[in-house]
Structure 1
């Protein structure tokens, strides 16, 4: 009679491969391969939100335009800044911020919101992340109409030069970051439901601390301690994400260190996301 397997016996019970890097990467590949599903679901999300509306998704553009106009006019008067320069600055910043904030807030609930599909639909977990990011890209595309209007109305096009093409890789980096943010926050918010409210408060705080309604140039122009305080904005990561897209879209000078910081955060973020997918991907259906 053969001896029972021991701890050191190679014939011991096989270990499940559900918590391996191979399965984590396979989930991402399979999810991307199901793009017909998440492309359709993302578009249906927008249609459902504006069902029976005459203007449909263009209400996104109208709401963002009115918000940017109100903020731009108010703070231009408070800070004594020329409206022709400040309003495009605020508008582009707000458009980019909506993409960043949605990635954090909606990303933290991406799996909770899709509880039914996760339990019933046999698909990769990353499908829901791709769906969320695709939906935010569609929102962003609608809001770009405001930018096109500003190019003409405020003469922004006169300031543009070849560096405007850098907005494309900048936007690609934002999308990559939206994905890892949704994966990491989505997984841990599913396990610990207190994380989502905390992220909501944190996002509101970041909005105030990020140069959207104010500019670092205004503070630096005052000199002294006020100028030194402007450097505190460099500690805010969302500032760097804004600058790699906003600066080229407005024809402003580019600073390479913004790109270095964003690239470093992107690399670290994806490492954390892959680790989270490896360790907890199989547990999400039970946590929701």
Structure 2
């Protein structure tokens, strides 16, 4: 009796079918993924631009004058510090108050980027877990918010310059005995535009790097908050670098070089100076640009390494 086709199929050995190997899981720890996150974050400008603007509106909700409180607070602080330290250091108010104002404006931006940058991912825990977006979006949102704050604060600079404009036009010295004659306000003030763009580029890598580290190690934000006030007083914002030579008898005593290291070894000083110098018509010392450029390259390299290794873990750490 001939076996049925069904029985034949059961007794006959089945042929081995070669299946293609399972595709490997994409490796997320690559520089391509890190660059892609930054690129995709920049492309979503409409998203982080809207979120950053809404942050400011939410902060001053139900306020009568709204974001103008930023300008009032900034102006009051700059005026108080300018009046106080001009008397302490025996400097002309007409040149010293604009100096303090311009320095304090850019310091507020740097302060906001550093302090909020350490908690940028922690503060956006809900969005990170529920919104499929590059982590760079949250950094750009925070930096954009700080840019809007700085734009508000620039109104204080405009008012101060309008009041003390005669003292800043033409050559002048910052203090009596200053060996450097400042050229005064001119079209060189436009150099503040590339300076600020460079500072914003640095702000992004600072927030990315410190944000990732702080998300893993939660002790970093309070440590930075503890030391940030010390950095403020160590940075030439409410005092001029020439004071370092005046307080101990001038450069002739042989100690001027090491005293200048107090300012030169402070990276914040160079960021402040490339922004403040054109606003006041000061001599542009190009070594500040070299230092800031070097920090830009090294900082972005470190930020990309951190993103390459730990970008995918941020959502778990928060």
User: Which interval holds the TM-score relative to the shorter structure?
Assistant: over 0.9
SS in 1 for 2:303: helix
Q: 1:121 to 1:274 in 2, by over 3 A?
A: same
Which deviates further from its counterpart, 151-160 or 111-120?
151-160
- TM-score, normalised to structure 2's length? 0.85
Q: Is the 8 A contact 1:18 1:282 kept in 2?
A: yes
Aligned with 1:17 (options 7, 13, 27): 27
- In terms of mean alpha carbon deviation, does 117-126 or 228-237 score higher? 228-237
- Partner in structure 2 of residue 236 of structure 1: 266
In 2: Cα distance, 1:237 partner to 1:200 partner: 17
Alpha-carbon contact 2:103-2:276 (below 8 Å) kept:
yes
Q: Mean alpha-carbon deviation: is it higher for 21-30 or for 184-193?
A: 21-30
Q: Does residue 62 in structure 1 map to residue 87 in structure 2?
A: no
Aligned to 1:32: 42
Q: Which runs of 4+ in 1 moved over 4 A?
A: none
| C-alpha deviation, 1:17, in angstroms | 1.9
* Largest Rg, 1 or 2: 2
Structure 2 CA distance for aligned equivalents of residues 132 and 106 of structure 1: 7
In 2, distance between residues paired with 1:192 and 1:157? 47
Instruction: Say if 1:57 and 1:207 are closer, same or farther in 2 by CA, change over 3 A.
Output: same
Aligned 1:81-96 pairs, distance under 5 A:
81-96=91-106
Partners of 2:146 and 2:37 in 1: CA distance = 21
TM-score normalised over the length of structure 1: 0.93
In 2: Cα distance, 1:27 partner to 1:231 partner: 38
Shift of 1:16: 3.1
Contact 1:38 1:130 in 2 (8 A): yes
CA distance in 2, matches of 1:225, 1:139: 43
Q: Which structure 2 residue ranges, 5 or more long, are not aligned?
A: 1-14, 170-183
Alpha-carbon offset, residue 129 of structure 1: 0.5
Q: Offset at 1:32?
A: 1.1
- For the residues of structure 1 that align with 2:74 and 2:188, how far apart are their CA atoms? 26
Report the Cα offset of residue 226 of structure 1: 5.8
Given that residues 48 and 137 in structure 2 are in contact (C-alpha distance below 8 angstroms), is that contact kept between their aligned partners in structure 1? yes
Q: Considering fraction of residues, name the structure with more helix.
A: 1
RMSD, matched Cα? 1.6
- Equivalence for 2:54: 44
CA distance in 2, matches of 1:211, 1:180: 24
Query: Separation in 2 of the partners of 1:211 and 1:194?
Result: 28
**Post-superposition CA distance 1:157-210 (Å, at most 9, x none):** 622123212111110111011100000000010000001111112222210100
Partner of 2:174: none
Distance 1:126 1:231 in 2: 35
Q: Deviations over 1:112-160 (max 9, x none)?
A: 0000000011111110001001000000000000111122101166221
Is 2:198 the partner of 1:170?
Answer: no
Give the aligned partner of residue 280 of structure 2. 250
1:219/1:226 contact within 8 Å kept: no
Post-superposition offset of 1:26: 1.0
Distance 1:13 1:139 in 2: 48
Where in structure 1 are there 5+ consecutive unaligned residues? 3-10
